[in-house]
């Protein structure tokens, strides 16, 4: 039996996984680059050449590193949420449609808080379709022949 919303949920979870993976790789790269001597020297030189003190430049460098860690951990959280959504959609059966729809709705709301618009829209559409799912009663009734 075809369950409406499954394909949209698959698309939303795959988009979430893709963007989370890209975000994690980029954040990890920024974090590792910020620890190299060449980067630190050029970063400090760019601040001091504009008239800022060395202490201010070091504080800005620390803020840059903390932001890279924040993006890295946030990407990991959304990577895990994407995997959970993907597993829920793949294991979807007619008996647990409403539960999966509610969980996908929660995951989509978490996506909008971090401005992950495409994943939010796809997962929201999927959750609405899953929550509105009604099994076809006509197909489940036995056919009786009366003469």
Render pLDDT for 40-82 as a digit per residue (tens, 0 to 9).
999 999 999 999 999 999 999 999 999 999 999 999 999 999 9
For the entire predicted model, the pTM comes to: 0.80
Mutual orientation of helices 6-33 and 97-113 as an angle, nearest 10°?
40
Query: Tokens at residue 55, please?
Result: 């202490």
Domain regions of the chain by residue span: 6-132
Task: Give the confidence band of 26 by pLDDT, cuts at 50, 70, 90.
Answer: very high
Within a 10 A sphere around the Cβ of 8, how many other Cβ atoms?
21
Distances (CA, A) of 117 to 8, 25, 41, 58, 106: 14, 20, 37, 34, 14
Whether residue 95 is predicted with pLDDT greater than 90 in this model: the reply is no
Portion of the chain with pLDDT greater than 70, in percent = 91
Q: Which two tokens stand for residue 119?
A: 């994943």
Taking the C-alpha atoms of residue 147 and residue 137, their distance in angstroms, rounded to an integer, is 24
- pLDDT classification of 139: cutoffs 50, 70, 90: very low
């Amino acid at each position: 039996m075809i369950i409406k919303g499954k394909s949209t949920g698959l698309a939303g979870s795959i988009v979430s996984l893709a963007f989370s993976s890209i975000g994690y790789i980029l954040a990890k790269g920024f974090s590792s680059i910020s620890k190299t001597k060449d980067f630190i020297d050029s970063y400090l030189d760019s601040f001091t050449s504009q008239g800022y003190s060395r202490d201010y430049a070091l504080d800005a460098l620390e803020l840059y590193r903390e932001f890279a860690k924040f993006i890295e951990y946030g990407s990991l959280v959304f990577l895990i949420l994407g995997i959970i959504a993907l597993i829920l959609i793949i294991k979807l059966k007619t008996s647990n449609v409403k539960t999966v729809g509610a969980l996908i709705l929660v995951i989509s709301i978490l996506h909008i808080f971090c401005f992950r618009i495409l994943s939010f829209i796809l997962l929201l559409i999927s959750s609405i379709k899953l929550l509105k799912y009604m099994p076809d009663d006509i197909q489940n009734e036995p056919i009786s022949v009366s003469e």
